[in-house]
Amino acid sequence: MALNDLDLTCRIGSAVLQNPVLTASGTFGYGQEYESFVNLHRLGAVVVKGISLAPRRGNPPPRVVETACGMLNAIGLENVGVERFLAEKLPYLRGMRATVIVNILGDSVEEYAALAGRLDEVAGLAAIEVNISCPNVKKGGVAFGTDPEMAAAVTQAVKGATRLPVIVKLSPNVTDVALMARAVEDAGADAVSLINTLLGMAIDSRTRRPRLANVVGGLSGPAIKPIALRMVWQVAKAVKIPVIGIGGIATAEDALEFLIAGASAIEVGTANFVNPRACEEILAGIGAYLEANKMTSLRELVGSLAI
Amino acid sequence: MPPYQLKAQIIRAETLAPDLYRLTFLAPDLAAEAKPGQFVMLRVGEGADPLLRRPFSIHQVTASGWVQVLIKVVGKGTRLLATLALGQTVDVVGPLGNRFSLHTSHHICLVGGGVGIAPLYFLARELQRSNPPAAVVPLLGARTAAELRPLADDFVALGLTPRLATDDGTLGHHGLVIAHLSELMATPAPWIVYCCGPYPMMRAVAKICREQGWACQVSLETMMACGLAACLGCAVPAADLAGPYKHVCKDGPVFGAEEVAWL
Ligand SMILES: Cc1cc2nc3c(=O)[nH]c(=O)nc-3n(C[C@H](O)[C@H](O)[C@H](O)COP(=O)(O)OP(=O)(O)OC[C@H]3O[C@@H](n4cnc5c(N)ncnc54)[C@H](O)[C@@H]3O)c2cc1C
Ligand SMILES: Cc1cc2nc3c(=O)[nH]c(=O)nc-3n(C[C@H](O)[C@H](O)[C@H](O)COP(=O)(O)O)c2cc1C
Ligand code: FES
């Protein structure tokens, strides 16, 4: 069977992605950074670096540090802001015929809604991914993603401001991730993606100082995969909307585990830093697995976990 | 289209001094594109620990497609890279970053400390090859003679006369390499200074150049996760502290000394 006889498509609200391999926000720049390594139009979607209304400077350095089988980052959501993104970054992605998902962030419900409204006016976007792992400045800096009511409020505001499919990206820094997933599903989310990074820390015992200037940062990479997989499995059982699995995916084998656990698609993050061709290799590996197992559609694999 | 990614065959693996290694690998496309000041990201092993690639300045390239890096062992990644042997491969991405800009009409001074000498040798070779400027003066420092001598000898082989300094006084001036900069101040010529080494050394050199009115280019180091301008992990404060950060892997690693903040 030829690869193009395989149905690798997956549906996110009204959007149909050609395959389930997406890039994770913040690990793939605005796409152009990887043009020497990846055919951007072959990916399920390019999820761009998180965008806010105004440009953000981000945190002081050091911003990244390696830990066992992973890394901590405290980039501080540095980005060019929505207007420069639309003027300077999006035209390139369009020119490459890439499927584009814009990841958005804000520090108030109103900012999220304003961003969604701005993106609604823009042609050629596939979906919006809402990063809710950000502090709500008006509510004392508690992250939207750790409170079901705040997460639902953001979801509702974004849905109300755009016709684009809305993916809500869940934080793992909660006790019951399925509860959060249901809250945003009820508020109208078309899909959920998880996990964002786990809050972590590293200390230099020689100087007794934190290794990140921000003291704490987000843990990503292979180290978080078992946690991410467990959370995806729990959420997939709890909601009816599609689930996008993220966390430590570096190989096709990793991706297959998430699909079997119930993810309809996956995002590749930290692995892009290590192997800039990871996304296309994972895509090829998924295709080969389906063929070897005589499946004609990705949907046969999704959620096929045998317990 | 550069940057390239490949598993490069190791052609030579040399121990220059305890904890100082020189690795030569075959990467013709990369070698053809590489410019002095640029760097490569090397993968350390195949597994998930250590996970991230490590950045290394390009030390020299040859027309036959060889690429050379100097590796100073400072932690687990560099310790593993130092065990690579002839016939094995190393997974490399590059060339990355910008380059030193050449001003051959000036008298040129190269100030290198320790493994920071690596990109300056590539620069010196380029300078000597094209139309050599009136003067190229390398000022090279390291901890001890065993580390400095093999690196300094390469500059001598180019026909240059490096002025040396070691922390322990075993070779050249006993103390900091910047002591030699004051000798240049006695000459009327406009100097342009290219500098790479430990941060305090670069800061001191930047200060002297500012006072003398000499142009100065520095090659900075930061922690890097990607080297590809994707993670934004390699930020350094710009001279305008209120402005956006500079990113070493994309805006650098080479900066005009006046572009960045010296904190
Ligand atoms: C543009 C650039 C060019 C470089 N060129 C060379 C070179 O030519 N030769 C050479 O030997 N080294 C070079 N370095 C430094 C080299 O990348 C680090 O020494 C190496 O990544 C350390 O890895 P490790 O696993 O051995 O150390 P780790 O165990 O990760 O850390 C050991 C120590 O090294 C420091 N360190 C870790 N990563 C970096 C980093 N990316 N930059 C600076 N310090 C770091 C840590 O803070 C720690 O103090 C360069 C760095 C940059 C950014
Ligand atoms: C350097 C870095 C920057 C990130 N920036 C963002 C971001 O801007 N928005 C977002 O929603 N997630 C961001 N993430 C989280 C990733 O998209 C992903 O959820 C997480 O890293 C887990 O996946 P991984 O283990 O495959 O990296 C970032 C992660 C890293 C490592
Ligand atoms: S190292 Fe990732 S952006 Fe510079």
Q: Is the pLDDT of residue A213 over 70?
A: yes
Closest C-alpha to B135, from B101, B154, B161, B163? B161
> Contact B51/A272, CB-based, under 8 Å?
no
Superfamily of segment(s) B4-96: Translation factors (2.40.30.10)
Q: Does B226 touch chain A (CB under 8 A)?
A: yes
- Residue A224: predicted pLDDT: 98
Per domain, the residue ranges of chain B are 4-96, 107-221
Q: Which residue has the higher pLDDT, B132 or B166?
A: B166
Q: Is the pLDDT of residue A1 over 50?
A: no
- Residue B23: predicted pLDDT: 98
**What is the C-alpha separation between B65 and A29, in angstroms, rounded?**
30
Q: pLDDT digits over A91-147, tens only? A: 999 999 999 999 999 999 999 999 999 999 999 999 999 999 988 778 877 889 999
Closest C-alpha to A31, from A243, A276, A307, A296? A276
CB B48 within 8 A of CB A270: no
pLDDT band at A4 (very low <50, low <70, confident <90, very high): low
Does domain B107-221 correspond to CATH entry 3.30.70.1150? no
State the number of CA atoms in the 13 A half-sphere of A135 facing the CB: 8
Q: What is the ipTM of this complex?
A: 0.95
> Contact A62/B223, CB-based, under 8 Å?
yes
Establish whether domains B4-96 and B107-221 are of one fold: no
Closest C-alpha to B111, from B146, B70, B155? B155
**What is the C-alpha separation between B69 and B93, in angstroms, rounded?**
13
> Across chain B, which distance is largest between two alpha carbons, in Å?
55
- pTM of the entire structure? 0.96
**What is the C-alpha separation between B36 and B98, in angstroms, rounded?**
9
**A63 vs B50, B93, B235: nearest CB:** B235
Q: What burial letters (b/e) apply to B83-105, b meaning 16+ CB within 10 Å?
A: ebeeeeebbbbbbbbbbbebeee
pLDDT band at A33 (very low <50, low <70, confident <90, very high): very high
- Residue B101: predicted pLDDT: 93
- Give the residue carrying structure tokens 């390009």: B58
Q: Which residues line ligand 2 (CB under 6 A)?
A: A 24-27, 49-50, 73, 75, 77, 103, 131, 169, 196-197, 220-221, 224, 246-249, 269-271; B 231, 233
* 3 state DSSP class of A66: strand
- Residue A3: predicted pLDDT: 53
Q: Is the pLDDT of residue A261 over 90?
A: yes
Percentage of residues in chain A having pLDDT higher than 70: 99
Name the closest residue on chain B to residue A64, using Cα atoms. B233
How close B223 comes to chain A (CA, Å)?
Answer: 7
* Catalytic status, residue A10: no
**A61 vs B51, B230, B236: nearest CB:** B236
Nearest residue (by CA) to ligand 1, atom 31, is B75
Q: Is the pLDDT of residue A41 over 60?
A: yes
CA of B117 to the centre of ligand 1 (A): 14
Q: Compute the average pLDDT of residues B69-91.
A: 96
CB B79 within 8 A of CB B5: no
- Give the residue carrying structure tokens 């105004």: A54
**What is the C-alpha separation between A257 and B54, in angstroms, rounded?**
29
Which distant-in-sequence residues (6+ apart) come within 8 Å of A307 by Cβ? none
Chain B segment 39-78 residues within 8 A of A by beta carbon are: 43, 48-53
Which of B1, B52, B80 is the mutation pick for testing A, counting most A CBs within 10 A?
B52
**What is the C-alpha separation between B190 and A25, in angstroms, rounded?**
48
Q: Does B237 touch chain A (CB under 8 A)?
A: yes
- Residue B60: predicted pLDDT: 96
Closest C-alpha to A220, from A71, A74, A77? A71
